[in-house]
Amino acid sequence: MSGKMNKRNAILIMVAIFAISVNMRPAITSIGPMLETIREQLSLSDAQVSLLTAVPVICMGLFATLAPVMNRKFGLNRVMIAMILLIGVMTALRGLISGFLVLLGTAFIIGIAIAVIGPLLSAMIKQYFPDRAASVIGIYSFGMGVGSAASAGLTAVFFEKTGSYLFALSIWSVLALLGLVGWFVAMKGKLKVRQQDVVVVEVQKRHVKSPWKSRKA
């Protein structure tokens, strides 16, 4: 743990990390139990149904590079709040408007938000917990596991109780409130994620051997 941080602040940050990480899977995994229901009610093809789970995962890979850019331009606090809000609002929107394009559009935006949050949380953990990064990353992973397991297991239960797949998908937006509360409490310490200096990066590049020149690679 960083010497500049007292125990109370460290605990608050870990709670915030957990609260945010819980939000990073339900919007994706909640679709799975409802696939057949969604297919029947919206008369979707196999290709359309598969896009609902594939698009967020693709976005998580394609848009992760936005994280450092947005961090530099807007700051960690604004970016995190905006991304958590996007996940919450897009998830809630699924309960208000029915349709394939709505599900696909929300999946796309949620995927981008998750793509941005992931690298920023990882960088934050390495910066503020250099000696305990593995343990805190475990909390981060545990949070994602909790969110994933809860949504995969309970979405069908919500559907059985209400008879509405719209409600079953949108109920997970409440987790965004948990994430926002955790983040606002932790942000009393005005957290920031430092960016590597361009000069340092250039020096590092000079010492890295190109994999194209390596027989092993």
The CATH number linked to 109 is 1.20.1250.20
In a domain, 2, yes or no: no
Contact 29, 156 (CB under 8 A): no
Tell me what the mean pLDDT of segment 78-105 comes to. 95
Which tokens is 144 given? 């994602």
pLDDT of res. 207:
53
Q: Which residue has the higher pLDDT, 196 or 115?
A: 115
| Residue 198 confidence (pLDDT) | 36
- Residue 204 domain-assigned (yes or no): yes
Say if 149 falls within a structural domain.
yes
- The stretch 112-121 carries a mean pLDDT of 95
pLDDT of residue 208: 55
**Span 7-25, mean pLDDT?**
92
Specify the pLDDT at position 10.
87
**Domain that includes residue 17, residue range:** 7-213
Say what the pLDDT of residue 209 is: 64
Q: How many domains does the chain have?
A: 1
Distance between CA 162 and CA 87 in Å, rounded?
23
Please report whether residue 17 resides in a domain. yes
Write the single-letter amino acid at 159. Answer: F
Mean pLDDT, rounded, for 64-85: 93
H helix runs in 22-75, sequence order: 26-29, 35-42, 46-62, 66-74
In this predicted structure, the answer to whether residue 202 has a pLDDT above a threshold of 50 is no
The pLDDT value given to residue 147: 95
DSSP assignments along 104-120, one per residue = HHHHHHHHHHHHHHHHH
Q: What is the pTM of this model?
A: 0.83
Question: Does the residue 114 lie in any domain?
Answer: yes
Mean pLDDT of the chain: 87
- Whether pLDDT at 201 is above 60: no
Mean of the pLDDT values across residues 186-212? 55
Cα 120 to Cα 126: distance, rounded to the nearest angstrom: 10
Q: How confident is the model at residue 167 (pLDDT cuts 50, 70, 90)?
A: very high
Residue whose pair of structure tokens reads 């409440």 in the numeric block? 174
